[in-house]
Amino acid sequence: MKRRNFLLYSTLGGLALSTSGLLTHVMAGRHGGHGEAPLLSPSALPDGQPLQPLPRITNLSDRAGLFRSALTASPSEVALDEDKQALLWLYNHKVAPLIEVREGDDLDITLINELEEETTVHWHGVRIQHQHDGTPWDAVAPGESHQYRHRFTEGSAGLHWFHPHPHEGTARQVAHGLAGALLVRPAQDILPPEVEEHLLLVSDLRLTADGRVAPHTAADWMNGREGELLLVNGQRQPYLDVAPGTTLRLRLINACAGRYLRLRLEEHELTLIGTDGGLIEQPQTLDELLLTPGERADLLVRISEQPGGGFQLASHPYDRGWMGPEPAHLSEVSPLLDIRTQDADAKSAVTLPANLAMVERLGEPAVRRQVELTEVMPGMDHGDNSGTMDHGAQDGHGDHGAQDGHGDHGAQDGHGDHGAQGEPGGHGDHGGGHGARDDHGDHGSAGHEGMASDGPPQVDFLINGRAFAMDEVLFEGRAGEVEEWEVFNNSHMDHPFHVHGTHFQVIASRPADGEWQDSPWMAWKDTVNLAPYQRLRLRMVFREPGDWLFHCHIIEHEELGMMATVRIR
């Protein structure tokens, strides 16, 4: 994002965006200004096929304990059916590829950039050295390569993923399909061998009828892009056949840019055994799980003993504060995976260890910080905006004012239901104003989409009143110190909050109209949801020096400014 001075807007009280007349002013009167090309219908993709495992990246090393390979980011054609091709950007021409290693292994990956724009590989969830994090400062130019190295130490087991993170290009590249899974297995697995494991990478696409990636719309920029083609391991609603009574381990990645997954499995309870940073201490039984963009979840479920049964894992409607006209799929149940039981004898239940892992509580912080997420319409006078903070202090220690009441938003880990948020307002799309970030520059053999893109809206997504700038540092800290961040979502939309370079613990949460509540159990997280006007206390330690990003993991919000840097010395 081009650097602009938002301190002026901060001193005017934050200019928090509401769902009132402002949004109508922003969006009104421009809908349908471009002749939109027809989109590919989800029904054009085959469904009901057997679930396929993620395609693997080949280990080219012949030395034990070393995973060495290359990731080539390039335009790729993917067959949709016998006569349709999708024109995507992929790593090694694979949809959602998998890298699998073990604790103690070394990773040596060379990125080869065959796109016509710069890119990176960000290792989401890996506590890696700064120079290998794949940040915008280390972008790889077209035709160039870059080597990433890391050793997975004891305690690093978990399900992570990788995706591009270039400056002002992440949204476009993610929309074209660039993403993969990184599975780090423990030196010794404590789960019984009878458990049947499946990795599920959930992504979405929006394609034109001729198979090209449709450019971003104004609604995509405002809300976060949700493609109409919802995929699991690159497939549309696959199925999985299991014996009755099978205990499944479903390890999920939400690799969507903006889509929230409110997961339920018909007639079954879910048991959460792990989050972003690996296993939790004790299993947690859930009726449903909210998985936000960037998050991972490790679930166990014992399938019904009924032979010949069918059960649907699906994402159910969830109100995350959508602005503008809502697409039809927001109010629909979106099937992900059909689980079918065979006509066979039922398997016995699996006994889990009483304790899965030890999550050591971080001690009292040496540093306390305040982080505020806001939506801002530059140049508009909104008068009094309750809940905005004083941005005068560079370190974010300003006081917070009153909060608007938007209901109790549930559990500390973001898996609870949300209360009423009011009716989103506004119509149509937005004009330009962020032209450097529009989608007119799609490159590679896929060429240009051949259809105009709505420019990003005249709304900015900010952290502590500032839009991200490559040469600005918001906080400074020291390696090895415990820090506590109070993160306040001072907006009417949900925002998933992600921190690079470390994991954190959610110590306590405070809903919009409630009191602070301690977290009932501990987990290591790198991404956590904040409901509207919710506050979370996050405790973390940065072990490695460097400039580390933190941001909203709705990719479009990140790109429109909701990102900042902490410098660790």
pLDDT bucket at 29, cuts 50 / 70 / 90: very low
C-alpha distances (whole Å) from 230 to each of 5, 290, 323, 338, 350 are 38, 16, 21, 14, 32
Is 218 in contact with 38 (CB distance < 8 Å)? Answer: no
pLDDT attached to residue 378: 65
Mean pLDDT of 431-456: 41
> For residue 79, what are the β-bridge partners?
85
Is 257 in contact with 174 (CB distance < 8 Å)? Answer: yes
Mean pLDDT of 204-216: 97
Other beta carbons within 10 Å of 3: 12
Angle 46-47-52 from CA coordinates, rounded to 5°: 100
Residue found under tokens 């009011």: 422
Mean pLDDT of 335-347: 97
Amino acid at 503: H
Q: Strands, DSSP E only, in 245-333?
A: 247-254, 261-265, 270-275, 278-286, 289-291, 296-302, 310-315
pLDDT attached to residue 549: 98
Top pLDDT among 136 and 399 is at: 136
pLDDT attached to residue 5: 34
pLDDT attached to residue 37: 78
pLDDT bucket at 200, cuts 50 / 70 / 90: very high
**541: helix, coil or strand?**
strand
> Would you give the DSSP letter of residue 325?
S
Amino acid at 124: H
Contacts of 195 (CB under 8 A, 6+ apart): 247, 248, 249, 300, 350
Top pLDDT among 283 and 412 is at: 283
Q: Of 480, 489, 469, give the one whose Cα is nearest residue 370.
A: 489
pLDDT attached to residue 55: 98
Is 558 in contact with 528 (CB distance < 8 Å)? Answer: no
Q: Of 276, 298, 294, give the one whose Cα is nearest residue 286.
A: 298
Is 66 in contact with 105 (CB distance < 8 Å)? Answer: yes
Q: Of 204, 252, 257, 207, give the one whose Cα is nearest residue 230.
A: 204
Question: How far apart are alpha carbons 28 and 38 in whole angstroms?
Answer: 23
Question: How far apart are alpha carbons 434 and 436 in whole angstroms?
Answer: 6
Domains of the chain: 42-185 (2.60.40.420), 196-341 (2.60.40.420)
pLDDT attached to residue 24: 38
Question: How far apart are alpha carbons 163 and 161 in whole angstroms?
Answer: 7
pLDDT tops 80 at residue 206 = yes
pLDDT tops 50 at residue 393 = no
Tokens of 9: 């807007």
Q: Of 242, 205, 228, give the one whose Cα is nearest residue 51.
A: 242
Q: pTM to 2 decimals?
A: 0.85
> For residue 89, what are the β-bridge partners?
75
Contacts of 177 (CB under 8 A, 6+ apart): 76, 88, 89, 90, 95, 203, 205, 213
C-alpha distances (whole Å) from 195 to each of 189, 285, 300, 369 are 11, 17, 9, 42
pLDDT tops 60 at residue 133 = yes
Q: Any idea how long the chain is?
A: 569
pLDDT attached to residue 391: 35
In this structure, of 4-13, 179-188, 319-328, the range with the lowest mean pLDDT score is 4-13
